[in-house]
Structure 1
Amino acid sequence: MAASNKSPPTLRWGIIATGQISSWFVRDLSLSRSDAKAKHVIAAIGSSSQEKGEAFVKEWIPKVDPAPKVYAGYDNIYNHPDVDIVYIGTPHGFHKQNCLAAISAGKHVLCEKAFTLNARDAKEVFAAAKEKGVFVMEALWTRFFPLVQELQHLIHEEKVIGNVHRVFADLGLDQDLASLGPESRLKNPALGAGTLLDVCIYSLTWGLLSLDRNIGEAAEQPVIKAVQTLSDTIDVASTVVLFYPSTGRQAICTSTAMFRTPDVFCRIEGSEGHITVEGVSASCPSAFTVYSKGQSLSEGKRFTTPNPGFGLFWEADAVAEDIAAGKKENTIMPWAETVRVLEILDEARRQGGARFPVDD
């Protein structure tokens, strides 16, 4: 990896897995942006087969020059001399072993959410990263949107709606699970199936960011109440309530695999008004509207930020800047925050009843 005071840092990526999230990520890395804070090079792609990897490149990044090297399997990515960092887009159940393999090879890591199946495994990965001296971050891309940063500033610094006392956040998808085979990542508990880790983590993120300006170890620890609707051992719907005893503020964070959430997916209520947040899903916000107390729906102030792609390049830029600066973790998504969120998800599963084989 190269960096200088006069030019943005360059980061060379190795991509693990060629599913949907990886396709969005490489497309965003390849965009030409006037405001880019880093140069991203897609050096290598690891897929389950050579044919699938080559088809992935042809569909999503056909104009990247030079084209990335494509490999069947992941070992060549971990050990590739032209790869600085490994992006992990495999199902949740593989994240721990993929992270540990990349770290063992001395590579930095950006791993998709949920980072691991539970907090215990995340702590093991972070301990390995600390020992090896590499950068690791959970790819909770939503937190890096400028729109989200602006919203947090308005809520916590400018207090545009006064003291926040309640949040509703939902992410629902109509996934037709009955049509899927038992080995699908959406139905196989060994892969972390269920809505909690897959999508409720985004609803939970909105609750946490809206109710507390602090993250990680500095954040207030809420009381957790959770229920889940189960099919076999996986959840098809989850509700997680965050309750902060110090003030009584609450967040109701929900997910379902049986209904697609409308564009307005979040409402944040305060003593002096409320805010609605909208987008294609809770993972990818496109606008929010601030309503002062007593204002009608036509009187709110709407905020939006241009997004030329999917929005994953903002986290990639942040990672590149951190690595160039010699940092091992990111301040927006530090290791302690990943562990905190996973501990909340662990408790939600304990109360709700969803089980993974690693729990036994």
Structure 2
Amino acid sequence: MISEWFVKDLILSRPDAKVHHIVQAIGSSSAAKGKAFAEKHCPESSPAIYDSYQGVYDDPNVDLVYIGTPHSFHKQNCLDAIAAGKPILCEKAFTLNARDAREVFAAAKKKNVYVAEAMWLRHRPLVKDLKKLLHEDKVIGDVLRSFSDFGIEKDIANLPETSRYKDPALGAGSLLDLGVYALTWATIALDANNPNGAEKPTVLASQSHYGNVEVATSIILKYPSTGRQAVVTSTTNVVGNPDLLTRIEGTKGSIEITGLVPSFPSGFRVYPKFVGSAVAGTLTRAEGKLHDYPVLGKGYHFEADNTALDVLAGRLESSIMPWSETIRMMDLTDEIRRQGGTVYAADSA
């Protein structure tokens, strides 16, 4: 599904496009599947079709590889593409654990190959503007805490055992699929402009499971340097509330982010502080200022453009999602899984 959305956004007609993208090749588990994908999603591109991913890596006409396989394949896919010298944009979660991510980045550094995690949320203009309002303009004063959630109902019990949402061998679980977005909103909200780099918060986490598949995660993050806290949740049991994806509270007001799901926000509203008294029943707040961000397509073209520009400029890392940030987030999910009791085979490999 994500690969479909990504390719559709690549070939959108955009008058303000920073880069012209061409779907040059598609690798799949079979030539028939690859051909069907191309005919449906990029009929005018006529890409080369390969019955393996290696065919894409070895194609001299391919400038940049997008990896949209399940989480558990990412490490090997990246290593194979790096060995072929191909720049990479790899879907989140980047790998199953931080150790594997470090191995991929070490290989990329040794081979001098660009690699970036495809955390498309961070590339959206909405996020750039929000960070400025929060941490430079301080429109809600000093940020104190945030709440973020991502829930999608998947009915895990009735899915086939081979479903990626139910198979731990494919990285099943709400945390890596959904929770990483809620975690991302928390770090966007609470990260201060720290010249020494992004801070690693402390973690208190709990997880629930259906069999050996994690279906709900609850997390409290605390930033030691400031005392800022975040409550982060994810689940495949129920649908989250699109009217309030994330709430960020500060000394002078609050910001509420809305949209279809936390990975696809449409805008946010900045509110002043509440006035009146809760005890007296007079607590109210003003309507607030709406910041609306309609996008063409799904919004994958933001990360596609930025990645292509990075590669064209000869960079080895994304300035928006550098290797250090991927590692920080993977370290957090590792600790959350450790506390919650979710284990993948890759953890002991």
Query: What is the TM-score with the length of structure 2 in the denominator?
Result: 0.94
Residue identity opposite 2:240 in structure 1: T
CA distance in 2, matches of 1:21, 1:188: 18
* Counterpart for residue 339 of structure 2: 351
CA contact (8 A) 1:174 1:260 kept: yes
The 2-side partners of 1:41 and 1:321 are apart by 14
| Counterpart Cα distance in 1 of 2:286 and 2:199 | 35
1:289 corresponds to which residue?
269
Rounded to whole Å, the distance in 2 between the matches of 1:289 and 1:247 is 25
- Native 8 Å contact 1:222 1:244 kept in 2: yes
Matched residue, 1:50: 31
Cα separation, partners in 2 of 1:215 and 1:174, compared to 1, 3 Å: farther
Shift in Å at residue 298 of structure 1? Answer: 6.0
One-letter code of the match for 1:345? T
Answer yes or no: is 1:205 the counterpart of 2:159: no
Q: Which residue of 2 aligns with 1:147?
A: 126
Runs (4+) of structure 1 exceeding 3 A deviation are 213-217, 295-298
Q: Cα offset for 1:212?
A: 0.6
Query: Counterpart of 2:114?
Result: 135
Corresponding residue for residue 92 of structure 1: 71
Match for 1:183: what amino acid? Answer: T
Work out whether residues 272 and 286 of structure 2, in 8 Å CA contact, stay in contact via their aligned partners in 1: no
Give me the whole-angstrom Cα distance separating, in 2, the residues matched to 1:217 and 1:225.
Answer: 24
CA distance in 1, matches of 2:33, 2:285: 48
Report deviation, 1:240: 1.6
- 1:216–1:336 contact (8 Å) kept in structure 2: no
- Residue number among 221, 241, 246 corresponding to 1:262 in the alignment: 241
Which of 189, 194, 197 aligns to 2:173? It is: 194
CA contact under 8 A between 1:171 and 1:199: conserved in structure 2?
Answer: yes
- C-alpha spacing 1:217/1:91, structure 2 compared with 1 (3 Å): farther
Deviations 1:236-267 (A, max 9, x none): 00012111122221011110001111212110
Aligned position for 1:302: 290
Q: CA deviation at 1:234?
A: 2.2
Alignment of 1:88-237 (within 5 A): 88-214=67-193, 218-237=197-216
Spell out, residue by residue over 1:91-139, the C-alpha distance to the aligned partner (whole angstroms, 9 max, x if none).
0000000000000001000000000000000000001101111110000
> CA-to-partner distance for each residue in 1:60-109, whole Å, 9 max, x for gaps?
222x24x1111212111010011011100000000000000000001000
Q: CA deviation at 1:215?
A: 8.1
Structure with greater strand percent: 1
Does the 8 Å contact 1:265/1:277 carry over to 2? yes
How far is the alpha carbon of 1:27 from its aligned partner? 0.3
State the Cα distance separating 1:232 from its structure 2 match.
2.3
In structure 2, C-alpha distance between the alignment counterparts of 1:82 and 1:59, rounded to whole Å = 22
Provide closer, same or farther for how the CA distance between residues 32 and 341 of structure 1 changes in structure 2, counting only shifts above 3 A: same
* 2:176 alignment partner AA: L
Q: 1:34 to 1:216 in 2, by over 3 A?
A: farther
CA distance in 1 between counterparts of 2:223 and 2:61 reads 47
Aligned residue for 2:23, secondary structure, equals strand
Instruction: Give, in whole Å, the separation in 2 of the partners of 1:309 and 1:216.
Output: 35
Q: TM-score under structure 1 normalisation?
A: 0.91
| C-alpha separation in 2, matches of 1:213 and 1:150 | 15
Offset at residue 323 of structure 1 (A): 0.9
Q: Matched residues in 1 for 2:34 and 2:57: separation?
A: 16
Aligned with residue 272 of structure 1, among 246, 252, 269? 252
Provide the rounded CA distance (Å) in 2 between the counterparts of 1:260 and 1:87.
Answer: 29
Indicate conservation of the 8 Å contact 2:222/2:228, yes or no.
Answer: yes
2:314 corresponding residue in structure 1: 326
**Per the alignment, do residues 195 and 108 of structure 1 end up closer, same or farther by CA in structure 2, a change over 3 Å counting?**
same
Q: Contact 1:216–1:337 (CA<8 Å) still a contact in 2?
A: no
Instruction: Tell whether 2:9 aligns with 1:21.
Output: no
Paired residues of 1:215 and 1:337 also in contact (CA < 8 A): no
The 8 Å contact of residues 152 and 213 in structure 1, kept in 2 or not, is answered as: no
Query: Secondary structure of 1:111's match?
Result: strand
Say which SS state the counterpart of residue 39 (structure 1) adopts.
coil
Residue pair 1:217, 1:337 contacting (<8 A) in 2 also: no
1:35 offset after TM fit, Å?
A: 1.4
Task: Name which of 213, 229, 235 aligns with 1:250.
Answer: 229
1:17 aligned partner: none
Q: Percent identity?
A: 53
Structure 1 unaligned segments of length 5 or more: list them: 1-19
Unpaired stretches in structure 2, ≥5 consecutive residues: 276-283
